[in-house]
Structure 1
């Protein structure tokens, strides 16, 4: 049996490699517009297609209890290989918006066998310090999500197709490392086929419901923020009449900052409590939503970028903590299914928020657009506060 340190290192690296597929299409968005003659609105549609695929995948994985009935590492491998293959569909010469959305959908579908299954594998190895472990794991997801923006910047003089090939090969590598180096964990309990009534039963537990509602509020904001970081940068630089060449690098750095924040929040949770740190970071990201108009109107570029870095950190720092709360408050035999189902519902909300922001972007000024995202953190914080008041 490998040591816990080695296990965590492999899971984190594999997660990083495979989740680079998530925003591969977003990173080369402008190239896709030119290559396939798409309208600017395609950004929201392609992002939504990945999210909808992930939602569908998590629902199927939850109903069939793949992560509880079969070896999670093998589920991870198969998902990584298939997600990587369909990612290559973006290179098909005669793509239309519909076919691109189809490839993004299927890639998202198999990401359901990567992200929540990776958390399940971590939960099978770590009972003590799970929050810290998931902090590293979600940090890897954040870095993987941001990576295509960095690849785009580094390959500015090379064809955009190199970004797609690179992320696919990374996914193959991550899946292979997982199955070769990580056997089933010591705390894994093999589950049986899920009965539909068990899904509703998960939310009868008050602590589980509190954790899930907090996570839902967090998800309302997170992926919409990530998807629109390039738009925020483009809008701001248009206002100050500047056209820097480093926007892809900035987008990578802003999103990637959240990876370090996840690790820090995991350590902070060990000292101050998981629920307390989750509530604090969720509240801070909500404040960022509300005050964002003030920073969009500043002419001080450093101040604006610093604000986005701070927002990029707190917007995701609570993610591993809510996943920890969900895992701790779920039955051991359905832990994988519980994590997958909560992911499914949370990512469903991202579709609504992404499409809502895309719809409103042509109707209200961009500087006021992202205040709407504050609804999610407010809902999540209320769920935590209500639970705390109920326990007094």
Structure 2
């Protein structure tokens, strides 16, 4: 008589499904750069000040921060798969409405804010879902694809809006970028369909605060992520202007320098995506801690260095900028993987909610602080020539992230 053996459940999150979800996210992010890429035209046609134009982006940013928190929290209570799909459908709908009906400052301010409110569920809930469904030995690779698709989406957004502007002006750019998230929503539903919508049971005697304050590894990883966000988001906000200033100081005309800086920044996003893919996979092989230490340390060194290279020739500056983008983004998937392994199931969504709020808050302040240092160290008007102190301020975040990584226990993976 033979005894039947229960089959071992294979990981539901196959590589093809991971890639499919990542492609879907790239489409869903098509509106992220719609306004930023159109600001020069909008300022003229809508008669906007720089502050008014920036306020449109701020409405999206505030909405996105709220969305990240709400959808992450809801993942613990209603399931990560369900929240990701709800967010994708809402993002597609609000993006179409924005693309078709944003025709002045007020409509853009309100509708772009609505797009931000819808977007958060295609990030934090998917971290929870990938943590649940990916094989432990491949979890870093899966997170690398997830985080890398964000950078691809940013670059694709710039491309879609640029193509639309070239064909028919900012209106066409808005419409084209607004329609693409619908494709992403359909793809996400298709690729997530076979996966289970898990809701983990919570311990009666444990609260989210315990995971944030009493779980040493989780606390270090959330702190490291906050410091990392300060450096990363500050860098992304100002690297186009820095590169444009460098090109202008080397003799390029202002318009040409601005375009060159924007194009190179788009390429940096794509190059940063390779960091997410490769560093996530590397952490599966060598452990999370060594990768976190290495990327944070090199990023810190470059933050303290690159600003002083403003007058360097492009052949010297561009490779440094590429490495800078690579290491600044390289620890993102590893931080997400490590916190998913450190936090008890059923609490990960709430921890990610607070992590997003802290990280996004730091990332929102960093560009303002960078600009204040830049103003304080340069004469009013003209192209800034002193950038070192501002970038060094971002390096403080990198240094803190390095310290947090060094303090981790160094488990390879859960």
TM bin, normalised by shorter chain, reads 0.7 to 0.9
Please report how far the alpha carbon of residue 333 of structure 1 lies from its aligned counterpart in structure 2 after TM superposition. 1.5
Rounded to whole Å, the distance in 2 between the matches of 1:34 and 1:83 is 28
Larger radius of gyration: 2
Which string of whole-angstrom CA distances, capped at 9 and with x for unpartnered residues, describes residues 229-258 of structure 1? Answer: 321232222212214354433221012111
SS in 1 for 2:166: coil
SS in 2 for 1:28: helix
2:290 maps to which residue?
276
1:114-133 equivalences in 2 (<5 Å): 114-128=122-136, 129-133=138-142
Structure with greater contact order relative to length (CA < 8 Å, sep ≥ 6): 1
* Alignment partner of 1:141 is 2:150: yes
What is the root-mean-square deviation of aligned Cα atoms in Å? 2.7
1:70-219 equivalences in 2 (<5 Å): 70-87=78-95, 88-89=97-98, 92-96=102-106, 100-128=108-136, 129-155=138-164, 157-158=166-167, 159-183=169-193, 185=195, 189-191=198-200, 198-203=207-212, 204-219=214-229
* Alignment partner of 1:256 is 2:270: yes
SS in 1 for 2:304: helix
Greater Cα offset, 333-342 or 278-287: 333-342
1:310-321 equivalences in 2 (<5 Å): 310-321=323-334
State the number of aligned residues.
383
Please report how far the alpha carbon of residue 75 of structure 1 lies from its aligned counterpart in structure 2 after TM superposition. 2.3
Which string of whole-angstrom CA distances, capped at 9 and with x for unpartnered residues, describes residues 330-378 of structure 1? Answer: 1112223322331222111111112222344433334232221111111
Please report how far the alpha carbon of residue 109 of structure 1 lies from its aligned counterpart in structure 2 after TM superposition. 2.2
Greater Cα offset, 129-138 or 150-159: 150-159
Unaligned runs of 5+ in 2: 1-10, 379-383
* Alignment partner of 1:11 is 2:21: yes
Rounded to whole Å, the distance in 1 between the matches of 2:395 and 2:58 is 20
Is the CA contact 2:29–2:157 (under 8 Å) kept in the aligned structure 1?
Answer: no
Rounded to whole Å, the distance in 2 between the matches of 1:363 and 1:254 is 28
CA 1:341–1:19 in structure 2 vs 1: closer, same or farther (change >3 Å)? farther
Which string of whole-angstrom CA distances, capped at 9 and with x for unpartnered residues, describes residues 77-130 of structure 1? Answer: 33223334444537522315xx54444433222221111122222222114111
1:233 maps to which residue?
243
Match of residue 305, structure 2, among 280, 288, 291: 291
Is the CA contact 1:121–1:184 (under 8 Å) kept in the aligned structure 2?
Answer: no
CA 1:226–1:293 in structure 2 vs 1: closer, same or farther (change >3 Å)? closer
Greater Cα offset, 215-224 or 70-79: 70-79
Please report how far the alpha carbon of residue 44 of structure 1 lies from its aligned counterpart in structure 2 after TM superposition. 5.1
2:376 maps to which residue?
363
